[in-house]
C-alpha cells in the first residue's frame, strides 16, 4: 500500500510541476506584452524621415507655386499688350513696361493629365502633345483672381485653382 501511495504522490507532483510551468510561461508572455506597450515614462521613438524629392531646377524668372504649376515673371506694355522678358521701355510706343506674373501648367486636352514639363501625354493612346494652359486662382465668394495660391486678400478664404485657358505660343 505504501508503494501505491508513493506512486500517487509522485504522479501528483509531476502533474502540479507541469501545470506550474505552464502558468509561468503564460505569465512571462503577458509580462513581455506589457513591456512592449508604451508607458508614460517611456518616450516614443520617431522613425527617421526620408529625404525630400529633388525636383529639377527651373529656368531664371520661374518658380514653383503649386503642384505641377510654375509661375513666371514678364513685362507687359500697357498700350499695345506685347510681352517682354526684361524691364525697359516698349520698342514700339516707348511706354514704360509693367511687371506681371503668370502661372501655367502643361495639360493633355484628351484626358486632363497635368505635368510641370512640356512633352507628350503618357496616359493617352497615341501620346498627344501636352498644351500650355494658364492657371488662375479665384475666390468663389468675392471673385478675386490671383496668379498664386493662398488666401483671398479681401475675405481670407482659400483660392480655388482654375485651369481653362490655353496659352498659344
The domain of 82 spans 68-166
**How sure is the predictor about 42, in pLDDT bands with cuts at 50, 70 and 90?**
low
Structural domain includes residue 52: no
Within a domain: 105: yes
Cell numbers of 162, please?
A: 482654375
Q: Strand (E) positions, the chain? A: 62-66, 69-76, 83-84, 98-107, 114-115, 131-138, 145-146, 160-166
Least confident of 22-36, 42-56, 62-76: 22-36
Q: Judge if pTM exceeds 0.85.
A: no
Q: Is residue 145 part of a domain?
A: yes
What is the model's pLDDT at position 45? 59
Give residue-wise pLDDT tens across range 85-134: 888 889 888 899 999 888 899 999 899 899 888 899 988 888 899 999 98
CB count in 10 Å sphere of residue 72: 17
> How many folded domains does the chain comprise?
1
In a domain, 161, yes or no: yes
User: What share of the chain in percent tops pLDDT 70?
Assistant: 77
Q: What percent of the chain has pLDDT over 90?
A: 14
Give me the pLDDT at residue 34, please.
47
Q: Tell me if 2 is assigned to some domain.
A: no
Task: Report phi then psi at 60, rounded to 5.
Answer: -60, 140
Let me know if residue 111 belongs to a domain: yes
Task: Please check whether residue 128 is in contact with residue 120, taking contact to mean a CB–CB distance below 8 angstroms.
Answer: yes
pLDDT over 60 at 40, yes or no: no
pLDDT digit string (tens) for 125-158?
Answer: 888 999 999 888 888 888 888 888 888 888 888 8
Interior CA angle at 98 toward 90 and 83, to 5°?
55
User: Average of pLDDT values for 3-21?
Assistant: 73
- At residue 2, what are phi and psi to the nearest 5 degrees? -60, -40
pLDDT of residue 129: 93
Distance between CA atoms of residues 11 and 30, nearest Å: 29
Amino acid at each position: 500500500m505504501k508503494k501505491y501511495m508513493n506512486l500517487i504522490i509522485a504522479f501528483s507532483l509531476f502533474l502540479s510541476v507541469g501545470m506550474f510551468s505552464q502558468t509561468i510561461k503564460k505569465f512571462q508572455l503577458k509580462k513581455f506584452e506589457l513591456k512592449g506597450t508604451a508607458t508614460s515614462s517611456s518616450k516614443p521613438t520617431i522613425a527617421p524621415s526620408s529625404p525630400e524629392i529633388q525636383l529639377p531646377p527651373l529656368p531664371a524668372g520661374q518658380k514653383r507655386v503649386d503642384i505641377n504649376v510654375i509661375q513666371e515673371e514678364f513685362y507687359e506694355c500697357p498700350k499695345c499688350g506685347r510681352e517682354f522678358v526684361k524691364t525697359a521701355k516698349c520698342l514700339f510706343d516707348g511706354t514704360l513696361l509693367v511687371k506681371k506674373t503668370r502661372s501655367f501648367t502643361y495639360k493633355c486636352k484628351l484626358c486632363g493629365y497635368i505635368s510641370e514639363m512640356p512633352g507628350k501625354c503618357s496616359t493617352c493612346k497615341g501620346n498627344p502633345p501636352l498644351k500650355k494652359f494658364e492657371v488662375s486662382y479665384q475666390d468663389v465668394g468675392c471673385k478675386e483672381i490671383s496668379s498664386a495660391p493662398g488666401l483671398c486678400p479681401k475675405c481670407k478664404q482659400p483660392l480655388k485653382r482654375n485651369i481653362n485657358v490655353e496659352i498659344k505660343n
